[in-house]
Structure 1
Amino acid sequence: MMGRMAKKKHVKGAGSTPATVQLEHAGVPFTCYEYEHSNDDMDDGYGIEAARKLGFDEAQVFKTLMADTGSRRVVGVVPVSGHMDLKALAAAVGDKKAAMADPKVAMRESGYVVGGISPFGQKTHHATVLDDSALAFDQILVSGGKRGFSVGVNPHDLLAVLDATAAPIATW
């Protein structure tokens, strides 16, 4: 498993995606993690694949999901080991309800493909909510903007760069 993984510190220009460009522009320290994505490993989802191949606890690796509240779209960032509580996400942004956004809409508005959607560098900025479990870690991993590429960031930096909020939006 470790043989398929390449872990490296961020080097300016390496692994450049809109996500890393936003992080560089904000002056936020981050680490790039790459692994060989395989469609054969998709039984448990993209985020679980990343956690396993990179050797991180699933509670420290987060997936980026987009929901629609009826009046706007909202980005939720939750551990790959859990699910997003749509009612809690809606409440965190002052709305009453939310439903998962159509994957085609999420890809168009984020500028990324499903399985590679990063909370950073999205084409359209949306209100973003990070599950508060992230605050227990010095570093969390989120997609770096393509399948097989993650970035490690301090969750407080994620909140600052995205003007996001933290709230309990995950269920297990």
Structure 2
Amino acid sequence: MLRKQKPVKDSFVTMTELVLPNDTNTLHNLMGGRMMHLMDIAAAVSAQRHSNRIVVTASVDNVSFREPIRLGNVVTLQAQVTRSFSSSMEVHIDVWAEDIPSGTKIKSNEAFYTFVAVDQSGRPIDVPEALAETPEDIQLYEGALRRRQLRLVLAGRLKPQDATELKSLFEIE
């Protein structure tokens, strides 16, 4: 059965937070755990928008902390589904830190989260196919299968020889 298609742009989420003292460590930087909490929320909303379902976090990978986010900065998270599979969706998140008084804005974090859509009983349920339209969205879409296969190989849920998109990374005979 063909799945309904839904443009990835329909899953786009922007979330903005102000870094307050309770969010920071002793160096007055946003705590990493707090950042991951915010990222999980933004990514979950994106996955829910795509699937119109309850979603649960299945994996978090490639969270990079490039630059510290300081007390008083404004944090902007942008999340969007990159690709969907039968019941799972990969969501890409970019995080920007803005120092409004100085007029500076830097990209501080980036990540890929995977969510599974579930029914009221917690069982996986089908989601719409993701339709990538812009060159950037198409590039993220095309890389999603490689990232998914790598996640599954690392989790022991897929044999390396069955990872069709990763054969060049593994010595398989």
TM-score (norm 1): 0.28
Q: Say which one has the larger Rg.
A: 2
- Relative to its length, the structure with more strand (as a share) is 2
TM-score (norm 2): 0.28
